[in-house]
Structure 1
Amino acid sequence: MFYFAKTPWLLKKMYPAAIWGMPDREKVIYLTFDDGPHPEITPFVLNELKKFNAKATFFCIGNNVVKYRDIYTNIIDDGHKIGNHTYNHLNGWKTDDKKYFTDIAEARKYIDADLFRPPYGRISKLQLKYLTESFNMKVIMWSVLSGDFDQKITPEACLKNVVLSTKSGSIIVFHDSEKAFKNMQYALPRTLEYFEKQGYRFDKINL
């Protein structure tokens, strides 16, 4: 499985309407979590964030929000930001535009958010244009991909991806999902501890 831990400049250039990072004027890092809520894993994430007084942004799948509404409510009650991650985790490159937009609209019935992240980071330029102009959504990509979803890497390698690629203003992707849990469970607490010691704080994406 090939992916860039640190998003290359050329990729950002291809999709300039998307948001790939935040201002780097302060020592602030933006943790994000995709694919939840999950009844066991999301509470683990929330507990770790509380230990460091950290805020984050959760890009939720609509279908999971319907199934685990109480966990979704807990995310909001803890002061974190919510984003739309489609209703059925659709790949924009492989999905008809009309079906894709209908799925996002379905998720919006349950997720009150103007932030959107495309599953797998795969979205066409037309889809991006429509979401920003007609849906009035802000499409959030990332600066750092932890690789927690990659079951071929070790938890230590996942942490290394984050530590070596992160700087002020970075948007980091983790996942509150079963597939990613082994790596994320190891890397998240150590990421929080490492960067707190370096004088960073963790905030949600406010745009």
Structure 2
Amino acid sequence: MTLTPIKTPLVAKKLFPNYIWDISTTEKVIYLTFDDGPTPEITNWTLDVLNQFNAKATFFCIGNNIEKHPEIFKGILNDGHAIGNHTHNHIKGWTTKAKDYLKNIKDAQEVITAQISNSEFHVHKSSIVNQKSLIINLFRPPYGQITPKQGKKLIALDYKIIMWDVLSFDWDKNVEQEQCLENVLTNTTAGSIIVFHDSIKASRNMQYTLPKILKHFSEIGYRFETLNSAY
């Protein structure tokens, strides 16, 4: 495992107060997020499991993956989940010039907007997502890498930069399934933003952990909502 903490330290949240690390709430609400999709099989499996628990989530999608798998993307919309921008090609902010980084994000956003505009989908009546909320610009930087200049420019463009409160480490091949589950169980509190990945690389750990997380927190009275519902 890397030196990256499972639970984001308070000092990091205070150093970067313009980024969203969690949602302040007294309600028993958790915000599940999934990065890197849409991915064949993995994303559809994720949607099926979320539906079993009537749980909503936010999917931070890669523009290029949306172009390759538009039907899976439509499935995310149809199930009432929220969409976030994860760049067009999963690029690293620290090694990319600001203008190139913003262009890559813009490319992804155009794909997202076009797919939402052109899709005929029916949001479940029980869903907290509606078509207006789908256009909220949520962005998560791949690898968590974003420079102050990039962040400032994105915020000026009305993006909400979504980081996290809890990392599952589902992508790390050195993390066992039981440890991935423990990472989330012991660090999640009301308002936590949790990072999972609907990717092949993370599938072993994520597919083990997600149903257990949904079951555990549902049984103790938590609900799972999209980040759009917080705004």
TM over 0.5: yes
Residues 103-122 of structure 1 mapped to structure 2, 5 A cutoff? 103-112=104-113, 113=135, 114-122=137-145
1:188 maps onto 2:210 in alignment: yes
Contact 1:15 1:125 in 2 (8 A): no
C-alpha distance in 2, partners of 1:175/1:202?
Answer: 17
Residues 121-132 of structure 1 mapped to structure 2, 5 A cutoff? 121-132=144-155
Which one-letter code corresponds to 2:205 in the other structure? N
TM-score by length of 2: 0.88
Which one-letter code corresponds to 2:91 in the other structure? L
Residues 155-170 of structure 1 mapped to structure 2, 5 A cutoff? 155-170=177-192
Question: Identical aligned pairs, as a percentage?
Answer: 53
- Cα deviations across residues 115-170 of structure 1 (Å, max 9, x unaligned)? 0000011111111110011x211101110000001110101100000000000000
Cα RMSD between the aligned structures? 0.8
Residue in structure 2 matching 1:176, options 173, 198, 219: 198
CA shift, 1:2, in A, is 2.4
Give SS of 1:174's match. Answer: strand
- Cα deviations across residues 155-190 of structure 1 (Å, max 9, x unaligned)? 110000000000000000000001100000000000
Which one-letter code corresponds to 1:95 in the other structure? T
CA shift, 1:14, in A, is 1.9
Give SS of 2:60's match. Answer: strand
TM-score by length of 1: 0.98
1:25 maps onto 2:26 in alignment: yes
- Cα deviations across residues 27-67 of structure 1 (Å, max 9, x unaligned)? 00000000000011000100000000000000000000000
C-alpha distance in 2, partners of 1:2/1:64?
Answer: 29
C-alpha distance in 1, partners of 2:211/2:48?
Answer: 10
Which one-letter code corresponds to 1:23 in the other structure? S
C-alpha distance in 1, partners of 2:34/2:159?
Answer: 18
C-alpha distance in 2, partners of 1:15/1:179?
Answer: 29
Which runs of 4 or more aligned residues in structure 1 lie more than 2 Å from their structure 2 counterparts after TM superposition?
none
Unpaired runs of 5+ in structure 1? none
CA shift, 1:23, in A, is 2.2
